[in-house]
Structure 1
Amino acid sequence: MASGSLGRRLVACLLNVSEARRKDLVESVARAAVYDARGARREETTVLNIFNDHDYNRSVITIVASIDSIREAVLSACEKACGLIDMRNHTGVHPCMGAVDLIPIYPLGEEVAVEDCAKEARAVAEGLTERVPGSSVFLFGWADAPLQRGLAQRRRDMGWFKKTADTRLIRPDVGPQPQKRYGLTGVGASPYVMNCNVTVDTRDIAAGRDIAAAIRESAPGGLPGVQVLALPHEGAVEIACNVESVKGSRAAAGQPWPSFSISGQTYCHAPASLITERVAELAGRRGVGTKGTALVGFTPAECRGLAEGALSRGIAEFWRERRRVHM
């Protein structure tokens, strides 16, 4: 651990909001995480990155804070987002159900257990429904005690993958029946989950779905920890992967997967290079190529390292400074 991180118990929240086409709005949500209502900077809190996708009309805001600071940072950002985003007017290719669609909280080192993040996630769920009357929450991962159902399963439970979910059938874990304005928010905790998107140079969504099905964790020969959708994107098809951390250590072609430790337990995750290679191979069998790979945010190690550097320098809006700051 770097000397500047001594005493810090860092966690990350990759806040997913259902807006990307109004970048000023999204940045105001990010600023709400790092500044209070008086404009004072929140201690031990930074926003490392904002990833906007116009076609998806979805943004991912990477908030990192100490475990003692994350709740207020996230709730303030959510409150701002719910005040500015109206799901009755939302359009976008990516499935979503809430103005704030997803609030996952991840530990960034041995100093914080996943159970600590789960406790904060449940507090965020309660706090959101109190501060934004009419908002509704489902829980996933370690926050979904005692079942610990994963995000993919909970999304299926809530109808997230349907073109039009019937909100009358949804039973939130916290809050009232979902209202059209705010929709439904998923709140949870787990070991770190990356987002890795590979673009295939075709408009054939059926081919994209075949590729997605082949690399999904549940498929024979699929990649452990990989949950995936195929979505139309900028005139092509994007293989959009949630890359969950899995217990233990693994290797492919003799190369170990990136690993980290939480509470004495080793976790690892499929590297983006392997996902890209597998997608390219499957696309090549169909006579098409790939156009590139995008990481939405960072690997766990990158997230921790950048956060330590940003916090040691007192940088709140790191997403603005990143190109100029050498860590």
Structure 2
Amino acid sequence: MVSPRLGLRLAVCLLNISEARKQDIVERIAKAALCDKPGQKKTQTTVLNIFSDYDYNRSVLTLAGPIETLDIAENLSHDVPGCSMFYFGYADQPLKRNLVQRRKELNWYKRTCLNVNEIRPDVGAAVSSKYGLTGIGASPYVMNCNVTIDTQDLNIGQQIASAIRGANAGGLQGIQAMAFPHEGTVEIACNVESFQDKSLSSLTEESKKYISYYIQGEEYLYFSPRSIERQIKKLAASHGVATVGTALVGFTPERCKSLAEQAILEGCGEFWKKRKTITM
């Protein structure tokens, strides 16, 4: 994203970590993202949001800053000896395999079949049980939109997730979706990817489901969170199930750019302390 106000090209990093129950650790990680190796704070980097889910024991940190300052992939293997990483998206050159594809190749979803001795990381040391495996990728803007349905029947959630998945016939373009048990209900967790589609006319009814924005003069589209919510609500109703909440983890591209500009202009690295988790 280009910011005329700052005269900078901004990048956003969604940092997912497997910890939510020890908030002191989560905040230590957030603060570490704001510092150079010697411990000196970066003046143009900010942590906009921390979303922690106790049930999943997972946190998502939204970092923003000039492109040249978000060099996590290059430095992580040096700063954390023993860690192992795989690339996806534009970071995975020349194949550009997406996150789902890389996870399937690594048996990410079948932990009982995971043989660390057979995995060859793209960067870093051999995979160990201590450090696990970290995915690092680059893509146009991605956000998370999670819709909760009022049932404990995971099969219903899996059917809905399959129906809206962009890779499947009749699915929603740019949507990657999975269903998980969550606090006595089922959550349809969606990665909402930005994409380009010059064949999509702005005059069609279909185009109204998408929101557009620009990166260096190129138009990108993403499926509206409210449209995702409506589609899941419709599919859930066909199973006799209601939706009971929608959470937008992080921000829309436009909102993220606006808040990043505000935080950097104010020199506020710990911007998350000013905000609470955004929900719809």
- Determine if contact 2:209/2:227 at 8 Å carries over to the other structure: no
Distance (Å, rounded) in 2 between the aligned partners of 1:241 and 1:307:
23
SS in 2 for 1:224: coil
Q: CA deviation at 1:317?
A: 0.7
Tell whether 2:75 aligns with 1:127.
yes
Q: What does residue range 164-179 of structure 1 map to in structure 2 within 5 Å? A: 164=112, 165-179=114-128
Distance (Å, rounded) in 1 between the aligned partners of 2:241 and 2:208:
27
List per-residue Cα deviations over 1:213-249 (Å, max 9, x = no partner).
1111122110001111100001100000111111136
SS in 1 for 2:214: strand
Distance (Å, rounded) in 2 between the aligned partners of 1:256 and 1:282:
17
Q: CA deviation at 1:3?
A: 5.3
Distance (Å, rounded) in 2 between the aligned partners of 1:171 and 1:39:
32
Identity score, percent: 50
Partner of 2:268: 315
The range that moved more, 194-203 or 211-220, is 211-220
Distance (Å, rounded) in 2 between the aligned partners of 1:134 and 1:253:
48
Distance (Å, rounded) in 2 between the aligned partners of 1:261 and 1:177:
40
Give the alignment's Cα RMSD to 1 decimal.
1.8
The size of the alignment, in residue pairs, is 270
Distance (Å, rounded) in 2 between the aligned partners of 1:317 and 1:176:
32
Distance (Å, rounded) in 2 between the aligned partners of 1:141 and 1:38:
30
Partner of 2:150: 201
The range that moved more, 220-229 or 168-177, is 168-177
Q: CA deviation at 1:35?
A: 3.5
Distance (Å, rounded) in 1 between the aligned partners of 2:128 and 2:32:
24
Partner of 1:54: 54
Distance (Å, rounded) in 2 between the aligned partners of 1:313 and 1:226:
34
List per-residue Cα deviations over 1:86-107 (Å, max 9, x = no partner).
xxxxxxxxxxxxxxxxxxxxxx
Which letter maps to 1:16? N
Distance (Å, rounded) in 1 between the aligned partners of 2:54 and 2:218:
38
List per-residue Cα deviations over 1:99-154 (Å, max 9, x = no partner).
xxxxxxxxxxxxxxxxxxxxxxxxx2x42222222111111011111111111101
Partner of 1:259: 212
Which letter maps to 2:8? R
Q: What does residue range 120-269 of structure 1 map to in structure 2 within 5 Å? A: 124=73, 126-164=74-112, 165-248=114-197, 250=200, 252=205, 255=208, 257-269=210-222
Q: Which runs of 5+ in 1 are unaligned?
A: 75-123
Change in CA separation of 1:38 and 1:150 when aligned onto 2, cut-off 3 Å: closer
Distance (Å, rounded) in 2 between the aligned partners of 1:40 and 1:171:
34
Which letter maps to 1:25? I
Which letter maps to 1:286? H
Change in CA separation of 1:144 and 1:36 when aligned onto 2, cut-off 3 Å: closer
Which letter maps to 2:62? T
Which letter maps to 1:261? Y
Q: Which runs of 5+ in 2 are unaligned?
A: none
Which letter maps to 2:91? A
Q: CA deviation at 1:38?
A: 6.7
- Determine if contact 2:209/2:224 at 8 Å carries over to the other structure: no
Distance (Å, rounded) in 1 between the aligned partners of 2:23 and 2:115:
30
Change in CA separation of 1:134 and 1:320 when aligned onto 2, cut-off 3 Å: same
